[in-house]
Structure 1
């Protein structure tokens, strides 16, 4: 009788451990899928912005003159790069397997994405300052003022959009940081990481 109870206890413990591991795997899969979905939506947003700017820039460039012509021209050119980045980013995110990363890899990917967004936000400030410099430079004599002013205004607009885009995506991503608590847990010795095999 004693052996049967011990056997039942061990089987119950194994079943409970299996269910807990399955729950941790489900949480990990859900977290990774949410990150991948977010990255894909972000790249679709960037790609949509790029397509609108390319189409608008090319169509309005020929009917405009002065700095406005150069503004539309730069919008189209700038967004060719944005479209390339969006396409490559979407392709990379669509090839990711949400089951491929363990807990540590998931955490690394999550924070890597956030660091990229913050770094890009810093670059975006540089773009806006560069655009401001060009518009100020356009006020000097002996320069192509229309081109400098148009390019400068375009670069400030594009930098401003990218700044907002990167910060919004950073805050969306950092809002999921609390979900990492599902992957990390408290043990009797303190705080630890749940590893699943």
Structure 2
């Protein structure tokens, strides 16, 4: 009877330990995920504010294509600031997923968004080159097309590098969750956690 009692206590202890370890790992991974996203949005917001300030100053103190370059930087980064603010807010107020699988799904979804954005960034860059090329064959304010084109190339290039770096950092985080899930076994009426020795 004592052996049965001790076995039950040991099983209960191991189950509690496994549950605690899983919850701790999920909580830690979620905190890291939030930290990465908030840092990314803070960087994007800082870029936006810097471009808005220099854009406003540059637009008022220059002329020709340089003025239009600064004007587009200002306009473009009003949108960037909105995206950064919304992203930071929703990250800061979000709730921790219920389990590691839900967290991994959320992370993979975020990474897909970053890759989609990187594709858009390349389209922005191509659009900027198109505007600059178009400026060569028009007499209707070609300096505006050149200035806007240069700005769109700059902004698209920054966003491309930003999205790729954020994706790379974030994918390392999600690979840790994926590794964790490889140690979890699900059965019809049981959940097991594999511990490598």
Alignment partner, residue 182 of structure 1: 180
Following the alignment from structure 2 to structure 1, what is the Cα–Cα distance between the partners of residues 192 and 170?
22
Q: Go from structure 1 to structure 2 and tell me whether the alpha carbon gap of 1:129 and 1:25 turns closer, same or farther (over 3 Å shift).
A: same
Following the alignment from structure 1 to structure 2, what is the Cα–Cα distance between the partners of residues 177 and 14?
30
Structure 1: runs of 5 or more not aligned: none
**Secondary structure at the counterpart of residue 61 of structure 2:** coil
Q: Is 1:28 the counterpart of 2:26 in the alignment?
A: yes
Alignment partner, residue 145 of structure 2: 148
Q: Go from structure 1 to structure 2 and tell me whether the alpha carbon gap of 1:105 and 1:58 turns closer, same or farther (over 3 Å shift).
A: same
State which of 95, 103, 107 in structure 2 corresponds to 1:106: 103
Structure 2: runs of 5 or more not aligned: none
Alignment partner, residue 158 of structure 1: 155
Following the alignment from structure 1 to structure 2, what is the Cα–Cα distance between the partners of residues 188 and 174?
25
Q: Which moved more, 1:104-113 or 1:126-135?
A: 104-113
Q: Go from structure 1 to structure 2 and tell me whether the alpha carbon gap of 1:135 and 1:188 turns closer, same or farther (over 3 Å shift).
A: closer
State which of 86, 89, 104 in structure 2 corresponds to 1:88: 86
Alignment partner, residue 66 of structure 1: 64
Contact 1:24–1:183 (CA<8 Å) still a contact in 2? no
CA-to-aligned-CA distance 1:128-167 (integer Å, 9 cap, x gap): 0000000000001322110000000000000000000000
Following the alignment from structure 1 to structure 2, what is the Cα–Cα distance between the partners of residues 194 and 69?
64
Following the alignment from structure 2 to structure 1, what is the Cα–Cα distance between the partners of residues 95 and 30?
8
Q: Go from structure 1 to structure 2 and tell me whether the alpha carbon gap of 1:46 and 1:31 turns closer, same or farther (over 3 Å shift).
A: same
Contact 1:28–1:183 (CA<8 Å) still a contact in 2? no
Following the alignment from structure 1 to structure 2, what is the Cα–Cα distance between the partners of residues 86 and 194?
40
Instruction: Note the C-alpha offset of 1:17.
Output: 0.9
Alignment partner, residue 57 of structure 1: 55
Following the alignment from structure 1 to structure 2, what is the Cα–Cα distance between the partners of residues 184 and 32?
18
Instruction: Note the C-alpha offset of 1:96.
Output: 1.3
Q: Is 1:4 the counterpart of 2:20 in the alignment?
A: no
CA-to-aligned-CA distance 1:71-115 (integer Å, 9 cap, x gap): 0000000000000000000000000123x4322211110101100
Q: Which runs of 4+ in 1 moved over 6 A?
A: none
Instruction: Note the C-alpha offset of 1:186.
Output: 5.5
**Secondary structure at the counterpart of residue 142 of structure 1:** coil
Contact 1:135–1:149 (CA<8 Å) still a contact in 2? yes
